[in-house]
Amino acid sequence: MDLRRISFFLVAVIFLMGCAATGPPAPVDVNLRIDQAGTVQKVPKEPSVRKSMEVKNDEMEFHNCRVHKDTVYMTISSIGGWGTNGDKLWNDLQLIRLKGYKNLVVYLNSPGGAIYDGLAITDELRLLKEDGVYVEMHGRGIIASAAVTVYLIGDKRIASRNTIFMLHPMSITKWGQFSESMDDIESQARMIKLWNNSYTKIVADNSRISQDKAREFISKDTWISADEAKQYGFVDELK
């Protein structure tokens, strides 16, 4: 057998093996539609999306709340910084309004935190009450500093018998090296006075003590037992 015949034989074998390996083409599903005029039209298939390709839309999800039946449950610990701040709480309270919930239960065990966040949260809860939502506070452990006004703003304030309350003077914490003028110091003093006025007014408006008595409380570290807090009108019910 000469070389030409051998080459032709090899090519033929390879071609036949390729045909056998490829096999017939895979079937293709085509959706057709015939209209009233008898025209055949190809109907495009709906795009298929796997579960792994879906993107969760958490636009209407709570950040720090749980819901059971018609009641929303929220936990507040440290206020500001790494804890609960006014921005995150505002998102949750907006959802409470939008979804039509009328009852909010707040578990509060907090050493306090940033005064501006505390006042912001207090105002947000007050506005929520004005929109018809009933706010029930449950105090445990410690309710101190910026957490006091948050607790007092509730419609009903419940505390366990071992809950401790604490009010103290406002202060400013600073880091680093810097210089300040007399005007800077006077400006900071005015800011602290504004904080004190807002804080003591909220305490007086939501308890049985006067604003002067509240100012006396924040003139030093003032620790109050749960029984004393009930006498002062901080607490409605002890458990």
pLDDT at 224 > cutoff 70: yes
Residue written as tokens 């998102």? 91
pLDDT at residue 6, as a whole number? 46
Q: How far is CA 201 from CA 112, 225, 232, in A?
A: 18, 21, 15
How is 50-108 classified by DSSP, letter by letter? -GGG-----TT--SSEEEETTEEEEEE-SBSTTSB-HHHHHHHHHHHHHTT--EEEEEE
pLDDT at 13 > cutoff 50: no
Which residue has better confidence, 89 or 12? 89
Q: What angle do CA 203, 94, 123 make, to 5 degrees?
A: 15
Out of 78, 110, 145, 207, pick the active-site residue.
Answer: 145
pLDDT digits (tens, 9 = 90+) for 74-130: 999 888 765 666 677 888 988 999 999 999 999 999 999 888 889 999 999 999 999
Tell me which residue of 201, 216, 128, 202 sits closest to 167, measured CA to CA.
Answer: 216
145 is catalytic: yes
The arithmetic mean of pLDDT across residues 124-147, rounded, is 96
pLDDT digits (tens, 9 = 90+) for 34-80: 666 667 666 666 555 454 444 454 556 888 889 998 999 999 988 87
Cβ–Cβ under 8 Å, residues 73 and 65: yes
Tell me how far apart the alpha carbons of residues 239 and 38 are, in angstroms, rounded to a whole number. 80
168 is catalytic: yes
Does the pTM surpass 0.75? The reply is no
Out of 48, 168, 171, 207, pick the active-site residue.
Answer: 168
- Domains in the chain (CATH in brackets) are 65-172+214-238 (3.90.226.10)
